[in-house]
């Protein structure tokens, strides 16, 4: 068992702005046939809104190993 990742704590009043910026992320295609080019638009605006809303980010790298060892040791089993 491993849990590698993190969770983010956002400022409540900035959360709707992040959602709106996420809705605005889209791909745009230009050109024809062999010369088509697809570009993702709105990612930079979303990243800026996310950074403005981010209050804290907590990493829990390797904590899954600890939880796995607890499970194997019977720590989470029901008392008899």
Across 37-64, average pLDDT: 88
- In the block, tokens 């088509």 appear at 36
Mean pLDDT, all residues of the chain: 81
Where helices occur in the chain by DSSP H, the ranges are 15-23, 43-53, 63-73
Q: Does 77 score more than 90 pLDDT?
A: no
**Residue 69 structure tokens:** 């060892």
User: How many other CB atoms are found less than 10 A from the CB of residue 53?
Assistant: 20
8 A C-beta contact, residue 55 and residue 18: no
Instruction: Give the integer Cα–Cα distance in Å for 37 and 30.
Output: 5
pLDDT score at 18: 94
Q: Does 2 score more than 60 pLDDT?
A: no
Domain map (residue ranges) of the chain: 6-73
pLDDT tens, position by position, 13-49:
999 999 999 999 999 999 888 889 999 999 999 999 9
């Amino acid at each position: 068992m491993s849990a590698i990742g993190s969770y983010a704590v956002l400022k409540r009043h900035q959360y709707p702005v992040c959602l709106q910026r996420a809705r605005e992320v889209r791909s745009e295609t230009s050109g024809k046939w062999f010369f088509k080019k697809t570009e993702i638009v709105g990612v930079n605006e979303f990243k800026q809104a996310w950074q403005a809303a981010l209050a804290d980010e907590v990493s829990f790298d390797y904590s899954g190993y600890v939880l796995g060892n607890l499970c194997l040791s019977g720590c989470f089993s029901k008392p008899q």
